[in-house]
């Protein structure tokens, strides 16, 4: 199956779509008033479940769209992390349906973000990537006071595990978001058509910048009904966030919660999309 289009995705498999979905929900320079408002936007225990699908290019008319897997986001109660009140956000990305047979890879990735409750800056991100034979544990730590951090990566497919990276991060922005905390922080913003702003993302030891633009208001069919939504566009400014540059779209509900409803990204062979299928 090595020639099938799924093998053209970045190394992280389904995690690629997960990162794309989250990366668009990002804004810098949080303030205390936003952190207080946060409690009304993401209630403790909220769970969002998304179905991810792949649609082939037109010349592959003989291959129908297929389900690639599910992405599950969960926002938890506050807890104490070191000397700070923090939020914990967790997520999983799991392959399902025909995807494992077509790609030859079974995906079962998990993520955990720890975020300062006062200013909503990321303190720690943990990724446990289980994608076929590729198995990685990744840890990102951020110290907002010193503006330093650490990036560690391990190959846990071997026994004993092998350390692949152990790097200090310096000259970080005063407040760093990770790919999980970003989605919830953006839900606080007053989004409206034509609003545009830059986004700086710290992930896997690199700092990346994209431009976010609110394109327009429209309706999308989600959960069996039409929902008022805002369509957002994310474009790479330099290197890396998308495999070869490119554009990513996400639709958020046009209300106080700004719930992500669906997303879409064009790839080399076809299109990847996701839609909200359950809110708990």
Question: Residue 251: helix, strand or coil by DSSP?
Answer: strand
- The sign one gets for the Cα dihedral 97, 99, 102, 104 is negative
The stretch 5-22 carries a mean pLDDT of 38
- What is the pLDDT at residue 190? 80
- What is the pLDDT at residue 32? 36
Nearest 5°: CA angle at 136, between 131 and 142? 130
- The β-bridge relationship of strands 47-55 and 247-253 is unpaired
Phi/psi at 186 (5° precision): -65, -25
Least confident of 43-57, 222-236, 237-251: 237-251
Residue reference for tokens 């702003």 = 197
- What is the pLDDT at residue 4? 29
Q: What is the pLDDT of residues 186-228, one digit of tens each?
A: 777 788 898 887 767 778 888 777 777 899 999 999 988 999 9
- What is the pLDDT at residue 44? 74
The stretch 10-24 carries a mean pLDDT of 39
Burial bucket for residue 90 (CB in 10 Å: 0-12, 13-18, 19+): middle
What percent of the chain has a predicted confidence (pLDDT) above 70?
78
Residue 51 and residue 79 in contact, taking contact as beta carbons nearer than 8 Å: no
Write down the mean pLDDT value for the chain: 78
Q: Where residue 236 falls among pLDDT bands split at 50, 70, 90? A: low
Residue with the bigger pLDDT between 176 and 37: it is: 176
d(C-alpha 271, C-alpha 60), whole Å: 12
The stretch 134-154 carries a mean pLDDT of 93
Residue with the bigger pLDDT between 76 and 185: it is: 76
Q: Where residue 85 falls among pLDDT bands split at 50, 70, 90? A: very high
- What is the pLDDT at residue 42? 57
Cα-based distances in Å from 184 to 12, 75, 104, 193, 267: 23, 9, 33, 20, 26
Q: Where residue 246 falls among pLDDT bands split at 50, 70, 90? A: low
93 has pLDDT over 50: yes
50 has pLDDT over 60: yes
162 has pLDDT over 50: yes
- The sign one gets for the Cα dihedral 209, 230, 249, 257 is positive
Q: Where residue 57 falls among pLDDT bands split at 50, 70, 90? A: confident
Residue with the bigger pLDDT between 188 and 244: it is: 188
Q: What is the pLDDT of residues 103-118, one digit of tens each?
A: 777 889 999 999 998 8
């Amino acid at each position: 199956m090595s020639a099938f289009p799924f093998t053209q995705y970045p190394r992280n498999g389904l995690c690629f779509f997960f990162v794309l979905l989250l990366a668009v929900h990002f804004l810098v320079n949080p303030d205390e008033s936003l952190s207080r408002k946060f409690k009304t936007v993401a209630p403790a225990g909220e769970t969002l479940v998304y179905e991810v699908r792949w649609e082939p290019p037109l010349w592959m008319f003989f291959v129908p769209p297929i389900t690639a897997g599910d992405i599950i986001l969960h926002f938890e109660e506050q807890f104490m992390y070191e000397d700070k009140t923090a939020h914990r956000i967790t997520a999983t990305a799991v392959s399902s349906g025909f995807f494992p047979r077509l790609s030859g890879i079974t995906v079962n990735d998990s993520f955990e973000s720890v975020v300062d409750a006062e200013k909503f800056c990321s303190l720690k991100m943990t990724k446990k990537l289980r994608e076929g034979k590729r198995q990685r544990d990744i840890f990102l730590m951020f110290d907002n006071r010193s503006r330093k951090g650490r990036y560690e990566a391990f190959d846990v497919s071997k026994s004993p595990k092998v350390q692949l990276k152990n790097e200090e991060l310096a000259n970080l922005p005063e407040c760093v978001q990770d790919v999980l905390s970003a989605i919830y922080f953006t839900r606080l913003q007053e989004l409206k058509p034509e609003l545009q702003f830059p986004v700086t993302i710290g992930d896997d030891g690199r700092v990346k910048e994209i431009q976010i633009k609110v394109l327009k208001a429209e309706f999308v069919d989600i959960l069996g009904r039409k929902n008022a939504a805002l369509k957002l566009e994310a474009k790479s400014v330099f290197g890396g966030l998308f495999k070869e540059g490119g554009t990513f779209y996400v639709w958020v509900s046009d209300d106080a919660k700004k719930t992500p409803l669906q997303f879409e990204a064009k790839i080399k062979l076809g299109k990847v999309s996701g839609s909200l299928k359950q809110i708990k």
